[in-house]
Amino acid sequence: MPSVPEAFTPPPRVLLGPGPSQVAPSVLRALSLPTIGHLDPAFLGVLDQVRAMLREVVGTSNELTMPMSGTGSLGMETCIVNLVEPGDRVLVGINGVFGQRLAEVARRAGAEVVTAECTWGRALDVDSLARAAAGRSFKLLCIVHAETSTGALTPIAPFRELADRLGALLLVDAVTSLGGVPVDMDAVGADALYSGTQKCLSCPPGLSPVSFSPRAMQVVAQRKLPAQSWYVDLGLIAKYWGGERLYHHTAPINMIYALHEALRLALNEGLSLRYARHRQVSHALGVGLEALGLRLLVPASERLPPLMLVEIPAGVDDARVRRHLLERDNVEIGGGLGPLKGKAWRIGLMGESCTANSVSTVLAALRDALISEGHRAPDDPVAAAQAQLR
Amino acid sequence: MPSVPEAFTPPPRVLLGPGPSQVAPSVLRALSLPTIGHLDPAFLGVLDQVRAMLREVVGTSNELTMPMSGTGSLGMETCIVNLVEPGDRVLVGINGVFGQRLAEVARRAGAEVVTAECTWGRALDVDSLARAAAGRSFKLLCIVHAETSTGALTPIAPFRELADRLGALLLVDAVTSLGGVPVDMDAVGADALYSGTQKCLSCPPGLSPVSFSPRAMQVVAQRKLPAQSWYVDLGLIAKYWGGERLYHHTAPINMIYALHEALRLALNEGLSLRYARHRQVSHALGVGLEALGLRLLVPASERLPPLMLVEIPAGVDDARVRRHLLERDNVEIGGGLGPLKGKAWRIGLMGESCTANSVSTVLAALRDALISEGHRAPDDPVAAAQAQLR
C-alpha cells in the first residue's frame, strides 16, 4: 500500500485574485462547528436565518431565495435548467467568459440561443442586445451583472425594460457582485439571480445562492417537462427549504454554518458601508496601479469595484510575475481568462480581502516583480494609493 | 432592517442516523484551515493526494477518480449524465428509494429506462434483473450497492456478469458503503461508481467521490452530443483535476481539505480493520435491538453493517420516539423513507459513529423511549450488545 500523506498545512496566502477571497476567522470557526443532521430542528432554524439574511443582501422578498449545494456555476445551471424547456428562445449578452458560459449552458438545456456579442472589458450594451433580438420574442434574457473575466459592471435596470419588450424573464449573474456592489434584485426587476459564496461574501467556495421571483416560480410550476436535472430541480428542493422539510438531498451542513456567519458579518457591517468600502479601496488600488504605469482595462465608469483588470505591459511575463508574487510574497492575483489569458491580470478586492492593507501589499509586491522583469516602476505607488484612503 | 441573528452554536448531537455521521475533530480542524486558491500549486498537491487516497478506498486504479463539487446525488447525476445519451436503454434494479432515484435521473437524461422491481429490504436479485432485460441489449446497468433507504447490501460481482450479457456498462451507487464496507471497484468490474462523503468516510456532506473506468471514459469521449449538464461534464472537469489544470469551476477548497483528512484517517486505521469494526459493532447493535424485542428488516446475510433498519413496533409513535431521542438524549436516528416512512427506523453506525459507545448510547436511549411509549422492554439490551464486543 502507498504511504498515507501527511496532514495538510496551507501556506499563508493573501488572496487578491478573482476568488476565493480571504475568509474571516469567525467564518472558518463556524465551518468547523460539529456537524448535525440536515433534518435536525436546530439546523432547520439555521436554514431559515440564512434565507432571511440572503434576502437582505440580494435585496428581495422572494420566497425562493436559498443557497444551492454547489459552486457558482451550479447556480447558473439551476437558473437555466429550471426556466428553460427544449426549444425555448434565450437571448444572452456576452462581454466575457461567463456570458459565453450562460449561452453554452442554455444550449445544453435545449434552448434556441441568440447571442449579442459586446465588447470585452465594457458594460453590456442594451442596444446591441435589442438588435440581436431582431423583434423576436424570448423566454429568457440573460445578463452578467459583474463579469468576472473582465471586471466590467453592467447596470441591470435597462435590461428589465428590454426584457419587457421581448416578453422575457430577466436572469442575472451576480457571482462577483453580491455583497460587494448593490444588487437590489426587486428594485431592478430581475426574475432570477445566482451568485457564489467565495467572492464578496468571503465564505469558502461550495455554495451558490439563487433567488427566483414569484413570476419565475410560476414558469417553473407550469413546465411541460420536468427539469432535465434532478439535483437542481427547484420544485423538489423548495419542499426541503420550504414548509414541508421533505428530504431531497443532504444539505452541506458545515458550509451553511459558514454562510450563516459570513452573512452575519456582512449585515453587521451594514450593506451601504460595505459597498462604500469596496468603492473606496478599489479606487485607491486603481490610483496606485496607474501610478505604477499600468493601464486598467475597464473605463472608470464601468469598473467593477471588487475586481480590477490590469493590462500586462509588453515584455513582462505573465506566469513569471504571478509566480514571483505567490512564492516570494504569498500574494495570489489572477491571470486572464479566454482571450485575456496572458494579456491581463485580475486583482480582486472582495469582502475580507478589500482592505487598505491589501492595496499596499499588492502594489508593493507587484512593483517588485515588475522591476525584476525590467519594467520601469516609480518609487512609491503605495503612497499614491494610500493618499486616497486618508 | 430586521435584526441580525446571533452566531449559531449547534447542540451536542450523537449522529446515529443515515448520515451525516459524526465528524472527527481533526477533520473539523482541517475544514477550518485558511482557504487558498483553487489554482495554487499547494492546493493542486492536495487534489493529487485526495485522488490517490480515494483510489485506495474505492479499490481502483482508474485515472478519473475524484470528488464532484456537490452531495451524493450530484455524483449520481454525474454518472448518468455523462454515460447516457437520449434514447439509450438503461436497466435499473430497484430495491429502495435510491434505485428509484437512479431511474428518475436516467429518464430525465432522455434514457429509455427499464426497471426491475425487487423486494425492499433484500439484496437486488440478479435473476429479476435478467428477466426485466428480456434479452435486449443495454447501454448501462445501474445497481445500488448499499441501499440507504432499507439497509440492504447487494454483492456487485454477479451484476458484472449480467452487464456483460447485456453489453452494458455497470454503474454502482456506493454512497453508504464506501469506507465502511469493501467496494473493490476494479476487482468486481464496476465501470462507474459514485459515493458521498458524509457516510462511512465521516466527512461533512458536500462532496461526491466518483470513479470511471477507462472503458467508461471511452464512452464519455465518444459521445455524439455534449452532456446535458455543463457543471458535471467530465470531459471538461477532468482537464482541471488532470494534467492541464484548466479552470472549470472553483473547487470547494475547504471541503477538500476535510476529505483529505478523512481519507487519511481511514487509511491510517487500515481498510480491513475499518471494515471489521463496522461488521463487529453493527453485529452487536443487532443483538441489542433484538434483545429489546425489535425486529430487524433485513435478513442477517444481506444486512449492510453501517446502517440497520428496525421495524417500529405496533402502537409506537415514530415521530414521538425520534423526538424523545433527539431532545432528551441528543441522539439522532433516521426515520423511514418512501413506503417505510413511519414503519422503520434507520440506525447508522458509519465511520466515526461506529463505536461500542454509540451502541450503548442508542440502545439505552431507545429502551427509555420505548418504555415511555408503553412498549415492554427488557432490563438490559446494552449488556447483551456489549457482550458481543468483549
Total beta-carbon pairs less than 8 A apart between chain A and chain B: 247
Pairwise CA distance, residues B351 & B15, whole Å: 11
The pLDDT value recorded for residue B379 is 73
Contact partners, residue A46, CB within 8 Å, separation at least 6: A256, A257, A260, B8
Under a CB-based contact definition with an 8 Å cutoff, are residues B341 and B335 in contact?
A: yes
Segment (H or E) for B371:
helix B356-372
What is the Cα–Cα distance from A38 to A57, expressed in whole angstroms?
A: 24
Q: Which of B22, B36, B105 lies at the smallest CB-CB distance from A11? A: B36
**Residue of B13, B230, B261 for testing the chain A interface, max A β-carbons within 10 Å:** B230
**Which residues are paired to A146 by β-bridges?**
A153
What is the predicted pLDDT for the residue at B241? 74
Interval A79-87 mean pLDDT: 98
For residue B5, is pLDDT > 60? yes
Question: Residue B210 in 3-state DSSP?
Answer: strand
| Residue B359 to chain A, least CA–CA distance (Å) | 19
C-alpha cell recorded at residue B362: 442508542
In B, which residues are within 8 Å of A33 by CB distance? 8-10, 28
Cα B124 to Cα B14: distance, rounded to the nearest angstrom = 31
Interface test with chain B among A1, A3, A8, A345, by most B beta carbons within 10 Å: A8
**Higher pLDDT pick, A25 / B235:** A25
Q: Is the pLDDT of residue A247 over 80?
A: no
Confidence of residue A240 (pLDDT cuts 50, 70, 90): confident
pLDDT for residue A225: 95
Nearest-neighbour CA in chain B from A158: distance (Å): 27
Pick from A1, A3, A4 the residue to mutate for testing the B interface (most B CBs within 10 Å): A4
The stretch A292-297 carries a mean pLDDT of 96
DSSP state, A147?
E
Averaged pLDDT of chain A? 96
Angstroms from B7 CA to nearest CA on chain A = 7
B72 at the A interface (CB within 8 A)?
yes
In this prediction, residue A47 carries a pLDDT of 93
What are the cell numbers at B3? Answer: 435584526
Q: Mind telling me how many Å the CA of A150 is from chain B's nearest CA?
A: 16
CB contact under 8 A, B264 and A5: yes
* Region label for B296, one of left (φ > 0), alpha (ψ between -120 and 50) or beta (otherwise): beta
Q: Looking at the partner chain, which of A81, A254, A337 has a beta carbon nearest the beta carbon of B31?
A: A254
- With 70 as the cut, is the pLDDT of residue B163 above it? yes
**Residue B245: its pLDDT value, please?**
72
CA B92/CA B287 separation, integer angstroms: 33
> Given a cut of 60, is residue B55 above it in pLDDT?
yes
CB B194 within 8 A of CB B76: yes
What band does A371 get if pLDDT is binned at 50, 70 and 90? very high
A205 interaction partners in chain B (CB closer than 8 Å)? 35, 38, 250-253
Q: To 10 degrees, what angle do helices A97-108 and A72-83 make?
A: 40
pLDDT of A273 strictly over 60: yes
Residues in a beta bridge with A147: A152
Spell out where chain B has E strands: 14-15, 64-68, 89-94, 112-117, 140-144, 146-147, 152-153, 169-173, 192-194, 208-212, 307-311, 331-332, 334-335, 344-348
Mean of pLDDT values over B215-232: 96
Q: Identify the pLDDT of residue A60.
A: 98
B89-107 pLDDT tens trace: 999 999 999 999 999 999 9
Q: Is A198 on the interface with B (CB under 8 A)?
A: yes
Task: Collapse the DSSP code of A248 into the 3-class scheme (helix H, G, I; strand E, B; otherwise coil) and give the result.
Answer: coil
3-state secondary structure of B117: strand
Give the H or E element holding residue A114: strand A112-117
B264 contacts chain A (CB < 8 A) = yes
Counting runs of H as helices and runs of E as strands, what totals does chain A give?
14, 14
Residues counted in chain A:
390
For A390, residues 6+ apart whose C-beta sits below 8 A from its C-beta are: none
Q: Hey, are the CB atoms on A36 and B11 less than 8 Å from each other?
A: yes
**Spatial distance between the Cα atoms of B321 and B310, rounded to a whole number of angstroms:** 13
pLDDT bucket at A249, cuts 50 / 70 / 90: confident
Of B247, B254, B268, the CB nearest to A204: B254
Find, in chain A, the residue whose alpha carbon is nearest to that of B47. A8
Rounded distance, CA B231 to CA B222, Å?
Answer: 19
* Contact between A230 and B42 using a beta-carbon 8 Å cutoff: no
Assess whether pLDDT exceeds 80 at residue B246.
Answer: no
Distance from CA of A32 to the nearest CA of B (A): 5
Whole-number pLDDT of residue B2? 65
Contact A34 B43 (CB under 8 A): no
Among the partner residues B108, B230, B260, nearest to A8 by beta-carbon distance: B260
Quick one: how far is CA A57 from the chain centroid?
A: 13
Residue A379 — very low, low, confident or very high, per pLDDT cuts 50/70/90? Answer: confident
Distance from CA of A57 to the nearest CA of B (A): 11
CA-based nearest distance A148→chain B, Å: 12
Among all residues of chain B, which has the CA nearest to that of A22? B35
Q: Residue A49: its chain B contacts at CB < 8 A? A: 5, 8
Binary contact (A254, B37; C-beta < 8 A): no
pLDDT of residue A194: 98
- Return the half-sphere exposure (C-beta side, CA atoms, 13 A cut-off) of residue A196: 29
B71 → chain A, closest CA residue: A250
Confidence at residue A2, expressed as pLDDT on a 0 to 100 scale: 65
Helix, coil or strand: residue B217: helix
Angle at B355 between CA B350 and CA B359, to 5 degrees: 95
Which of B3, B4, B330 should be substituted to probe chain A, the one whose Cβ sees the most A Cβ atoms within 10 Å? B4
Which residues contact residue B25 at a Cβ distance below 8 angstroms, ignoring those fewer than 6 apart?
none
pLDDT exceeds cutoff 70 at A1: no
Percent of chain A at pLDDT > 90 equals 91
pLDDT of residue B247: 73
- Residue B135 in contact with partner chain A when CB distance is under 8 A: no
Yes or no, beta carbons of A19 and B260 under 8 Å apart:
no
Determine contact: B32 vs chain A, CB below 8 A.
yes
Residue B240's pLDDT band, with cuts at 50, 70 and 90, is: confident
Residue located via cell numbers 494534467: B243
Segment A99-119 shows an average pLDDT of 98
Q: Where are the beta strands (DSSP E) in A163-244?
A: 169-173, 192-194, 208-212
Shortest CA gap B101–chain A (Å): 9
What pLDDT digit, counting tens, does each position of B323-380 carry?
999 999 999 999 999 999 999 999 999 999 999 999 999 999 999 999 999 988 777 8
Nearest-by-Cβ selection for B231 from A17, A74, A230: A74
Calculate what percentage of chain B has a pLDDT beyond 70: 99
pLDDT tens by residue, B132-149: 999 999 999 999 999 999
Residue pair A229/A218 in contact by the 8 Å Cβ criterion: no
Q: Is A53's Cβ below 8 Å from some Cβ in B?
A: yes
CB-based burial label for A261 (10 Å; 0-12, 13-18, 19+): buried
A199/A57 Cα distance (integer angstroms): 14
Using an 8 Å CB-CB cutoff, list chain B residues near A336: none
> In the predicted model, what is the mean pLDDT of residues A53-76?
96
pLDDT the model gives residue B122: 98
The CA angle B260-B266-B272, to the nearest 5 degrees, is 150
**Band of pLDDT at residue B1, cut at 50, 70 and 90:** low
Which of residues A251 and B130 earns the better pLDDT score? B130
* ipTM of this complex: 0.97
For residue B302, is pLDDT > 80?
Answer: yes
CA distance B102 to B142: 7
Nearest Cβ partner for B257 among A8, A37, A267: A8
The reply to whether A24 touches chain B by the CB within 8 Å rule is no
Residue A132 Cα, gap to closest chain B Cα (Å): 25
CB contact under 8 A, B77 and A230: yes
Output the pLDDT for position B239: 79
In this predicted structure, which of B164-168, B245-249, B254-258 has the lowest mean pLDDT?
B245-249
> CB B23 to CB A30 under 8 A?
no
| Angstroms from A191 CA to nearest CA on chain B | 22
> Is the CB of residue B280 less than 8 Å from the CB of residue B385?
no
Rounded to the nearest angstrom, the minimum Cα separation between B309 and chain A is 18
Using an 8 Å CB-CB cutoff, list chain B residues near A36: 10-11, 13, 15, 20, 332
Q: Are A191 and A205 in contact (CB under 8 A)?
A: no
Strands (E) in B100-187, as ranges, are 112-117, 140-144, 146-147, 152-153, 169-173
* Per-position b or e across A41-70, b if 16+ CB within 10 A of its CB: eebeebbebbbebbbbbbbbebbbbbbbbb
